[in-house]
A and B are shown apart, each in its own frame.
Chain A
Amino acid sequence: MKKILFGLLLVSGLLASQLGMAAADLEINTPAISALQNSMQNRHGQLASFYTSGAIGLTKDGLIAVKDASAVPLKDRQSLNALVAAENADRNKLYKEIAAANAHPEWEAEIRSTFAQRWVQKAQSGWYYQDASGWVKR
């Protein structure tokens, strides 16, 4: 009987911790989050063709990376690097802000990995993303 009770407690404890995390509101909005979303949305127009050409791809940790700079004319490579750096700065801030807006700064890592999966799910076919084996074409 004790064992069953203990088991029940354990299961409910696990469930509670899962539910706790599930309560993270990824759609939460604050001026900082919307400023970051705007900034990322404005940048997306410039990044879209680089995703399509395979010059950049989505990384496992919810960021983007230059996959093959040679897919881009020389004159655009500098701005490509700058765009990737700026996008990653925004993404890092976004995960932090969403965790902070949920009043759980310690959730940042989980939010990041949830977003990493979301970005890949939302990626258009032909775009590249990283998994455990390396770059994969969607």
Chain B
Amino acid sequence: MSLSYAIVVTDTYLQVFIHLKAILMQPLAKWIGFCWLMLACISAHAVSQVSISADRIEHPQFDAQQVKLALTLNKSPILQIKTQVKAKADKDWAQLNVNCQVSTKIQTGRWDCTQGQFKTSRIDIPFDLQISRLYTQGVPDVIAGIHFKNAKYGDEAGLHAIEQFTGDLNINAKQQGEAWLWQTTVDWQKGEVFWQPFYVAEGGHKFTAKGRYENDLLSFDTTRLTMAKVGELALEGQLRTSDLKLINLKANLPSLNLATAYPLLFKPLLEKTAFNNAEMEGKVSLKVDIQDSEVKTFDLLLNDVNVADNNQKFAFYKLNAHIPWSYDTPQNVSLNYESGELLDMPLGNTAVKAEVNRYAVTTPNIRLPILDGALNLSDVSAARVGGQWVWHLRAEIEPISMAELSTSLKLPRMEGLASAAIPLVTYNNGKVTTDGNIQLKLFNGVTTISQLTLQDPLGNTPKLNADIIMRNLDLGDLTRTFSFGAIEGKLDADIANLQLQNWKPVNFDAAIKSSPGKYPKKISQRAVENISALGGAGAAAAVQRSVLRFFEEFNYEKIGLNCKLRNDICYMSGVESTAQGYVIVKGRGIPAITVMGYNQTVGWADLIGRLKRVTDSNSKPIIK
């Protein structure tokens, strides 16, 4: 320690100039001791104020500069401190000002510091400080309280910030041998906090903790955080202070109100999941046991929870679940909900039981009732590998009536049944792949979907790939369903290499043709007009002008239309090619009609527009 100072004593005034170059050994204690030494020295003199100033004080953890201490001596002495301080690692200096009414009994007396302020360009903490006690019988035993008034804090990046913070921090710390016994309470009365990723808009929260500090180890027991309107969190554990490693922690949230806890605690943590924009309500309780900074066990209970996605992609109502988890031993999970929705598909009462073995979940069977049928998932196995979920299962659809399903999917009402048996469904890297066929019994025919893969189904760029084969569709049912104008007959369709993006087709090789076999084949005047209209307005008008308009319906031999969709262009062909175009409907007998297509290429959007106009105009009542 090198120290140089000068003391100037006058009758009423004493000034000390100090230059402290390097105070390395317990500088604060020596500093206080030095001040008191000065006080003791001068008490004999009839002085009314002592001023001490230092250019710079250095300490292993912090630096101070432009230190000014002024002690006004009267019955209740007042110590005025003005200094600039900074932690060793910091660049910017902070201004620290405080006025303290000083007790003459240094160890047991009370210090009342008011008008305290700690200020930098980003931080402004006005405070009052009371130190009620520093020592008991020569042993450090501090009782102190700080009251913050509209304090403001912000880090450089703005990721941690506090504004208008008003509250109290009370500390009691007592030395016992090598250890310190401590307890603290924080009463957060007012103020908003953003501590990435969390945001708390207002105060009303309390934190109490008590424990022991010894050899770099901070133990805390009976620690309680009470968050207004959300719930209470009880903690106990040990933290190594040198590297902030959590040696162990037991956390217990006995009853959390999900409606308020979701936006505050869970939403920020679920930002990258499908649950980042939902409404939730219900009660949750959670127990977590952490050892060596790793979760060892947890136990999550959901009680009558409702979850609804704001983008209407999914919803679960009256969800109850018990989800225990342990790193060491397999656990049984149970979950059930009364009803729900997934991509507009209504889900019925469902109960799931599964075994969780560290990062793998298995269950022999899950039955998801959907309308009057169900989706049966069996041999379900999911595992978290490299931070991503991978799962596989066998799926079976118990027949679901298409009438109800199509209505709930906001499609034209279709009669029939949907059923499926898929031996293997796998999910990997955000992609669902199926190995097997989904069979739909629609329009009295059979539709088989194979090679189905689905990517990002709940995201904003869902993609679907599939091959679809349809056999013996009843054209009567089909044309009635889509208000197309009556056609009698049967239809086969092959849609290969179907690719949907955002549920819109971008690629396929479609071939529609009359099914082989004997059955009545008739096409109505309106259907002829509509098919013609698909080829452009001119073609339809041509039919209307011809004599054919006097006939209600015609016989046909075969119908066929192919569309190869690439880059928004449909490359079209029909049952036969002619010099001018292609035949879509080939007539037979009398009256016979042949409907031709002339455009070999049609823009997909155009075609859909025409189809929509046709079906729309037909579904409207025609008033003559």
**Interface contact B158-A72, CB-CB below 8 Å:** yes
* Stretch from B190-198, B405-413, B438-446, B584-592 at the A interface: B190-198
- Which chain B residues (161-214) contact chain A, with CB distance < 8 Å? 161, 163, 192-194, 196-199, 201
**Interface contact B502-A74, CB-CB below 8 Å:** no
**Interface contact B460-A74, CB-CB below 8 Å:** no
CB-CB under 8 A from A136, the residues of chain B are none
**Interface contact A69-B158, CB-CB below 8 Å:** yes
CB-CB under 8 A from A85, the residues of chain B are 271-272
Chain A 63-102 interface mask (CB, 8 Å, partner B; 1/0): 0001011111011011001100100001001000100000
CB-CB under 8 A from B154, the residues of chain A are 70
A77 to B201, CA, bound (A): 12
CB-CB under 8 A from A71, the residues of chain B are 158
Query: Does A47 make an interface contact (CB < 8 A)?
Result: no
Chain A at the B interface: SS class: helix
A97 touching B158 in the complex, CB below 8 Å, given contacts A31-B502, A74-B199, A81-B197: no
CB-CB under 8 A from B501, the residues of chain A are 30-32, 35
A78 touching B157 in the complex, CB below 8 Å, given contacts A30-B501, A35-B461, A85-B271: no
Query: Does A39 make an interface contact (CB < 8 A)?
Result: yes
**Interface contact B463-A74, CB-CB below 8 Å:** no
A38 to B268, CA, bound (A): 24
Nearest-CB residue, chain B, relative to A77: B194
CB-CB under 8 A from B91, the residues of chain A are none
Query: Does A36 make an interface contact (CB < 8 A)?
Result: yes
CB-CB under 8 A from B199, the residues of chain A are 74-75, 77-78
**Interface contact A78-B194, CB-CB below 8 Å:** yes
Looking at the assembled complex, report how far the CB atom of B155 sits from the nearest CB atom of chain A, in whole angstroms: 9
**Interface contact B197-A78, CB-CB below 8 Å:** yes
A35 touching B201 in the complex, CB below 8 Å, given contacts A72-B158, A74-B193, A77-B161: no
CB-CB under 8 A from A72, the residues of chain B are 158
Looking at the assembled complex, report how far the CB atom of B240 sits from the nearest CB atom of chain A, in whole angstroms: 30
Looking at the assembled complex, report how far the CB atom of B431 sits from the nearest CB atom of chain A, in whole angstroms: 14
A68 to B276, CA, bound (A): 24
Chain B interface residue count, Cβ-Cβ cutoff 8 angstroms: 29
CB-CB under 8 A from B163, the residues of chain A are 74
**Interface contact B158-A70, CB-CB below 8 Å:** yes
CB-CB under 8 A from B461, the residues of chain A are 32, 35-36, 93, 97
A72 to B461, CA, bound (A): 31
**Which among A34, A68, A93 is the interface contact of B158 at CB below 8 angstroms?**
A68
**Which among B194, B503, B506 is the interface contact of A74 at CB below 8 angstroms?**
B194
Query: Does B545 make an interface contact (CB < 8 A)?
Result: no
A75 to B158, CA, bound (A): 12
A22 to B165, CA, bound (A): 57
A81 to B194, CA, bound (A): 12
A29 to B500, CA, bound (A): 14
CB-CB under 8 A from B159, the residues of chain A are 69, 77
Max chain B CB contacts within 10 Å: which of A70, A72, A85? Answer: A70
CB-CB under 8 A from A82, the residues of chain B are 271, 276
CB-CB under 8 A from A66, the residues of chain B are 157-158
A69 to B161, CA, bound (A): 10
**Which among B161, B272, B460 is the interface contact of A70 at CB below 8 angstroms?**
B161
Query: Does B122 make an interface contact (CB < 8 A)?
Result: yes
**Interface contact A75-B201, CB-CB below 8 Å:** yes
Query: Does B105 make an interface contact (CB < 8 A)?
Result: no
**Interface contact B192-A70, CB-CB below 8 Å:** no
Chain B 347-364 interface mask (CB, 8 Å, partner A; 1/0): 000000000000000000
Looking at the assembled complex, report how far the CB atom of B610 sits from the nearest CB atom of chain A, in whole angstroms: 19
A9 to B593, CA, bound (A): 61
Looking at the assembled complex, report how far the CB atom of B609 sits from the nearest CB atom of chain A, in whole angstroms: 16
A85 to B272, CA, bound (A): 8
Max chain A CB contacts within 10 Å: which of B276, B461, B500? Answer: B461
Nearest-CB residue, chain A, relative to B455: A32
Query: Does B504 make an interface contact (CB < 8 A)?
Result: yes
- Which chain A residues (19-44) contact chain B, with CB distance < 8 Å? 29-32, 34-36, 39
A39 to B506, CA, bound (A): 19
CB-CB under 8 A from B158, the residues of chain A are 66, 68-72, 77
CB-CB under 8 A from A36, the residues of chain B are 460-461
**Interface contact A74-B157, CB-CB below 8 Å:** no
A128 to B158, CA, bound (A): 17
Max chain A CB contacts within 10 Å: which of B157, B272, B276, B502? Answer: B502
**Interface contact A78-B192, CB-CB below 8 Å:** no
Known: A77-B159, A77-B194, A78-B197. 6 other contacts (CB 8 A): A32-B461, A34-B502, A35-B460, A77-B158, A82-B276, A85-B272
Q: Interface on A for B, CB 8 Å cutoff?
A: 29-32, 34-36, 39, 66, 68-72, 74-75, 77-78, 81-82, 85, 90, 93, 97
Q: Interface on B for A, CB 8 Å cutoff?
A: 122, 154, 157-159, 161, 163, 192-194, 196-199, 201, 268, 271-272, 276, 460-461, 463, 500-504, 506, 568
Q: Can you report 22 residue pairs joining A to B where beta carbons are below 8 Å apart?
A: A30-B501, A31-B500, A32-B461, A32-B463, A32-B501, A32-B502, A35-B461, A39-B460, A69-B158, A70-B158, A74-B194, A75-B194, A75-B199, A75-B201, A77-B158, A77-B159, A81-B197, A82-B276, A85-B271, A85-B272, A93-B461, A97-B461
Top 5 A-B residue pairs of the complex, sorted by shortest distance between their CB atoms:
A69-B158, A70-B158, A31-B504, A32-B501, A31-B501
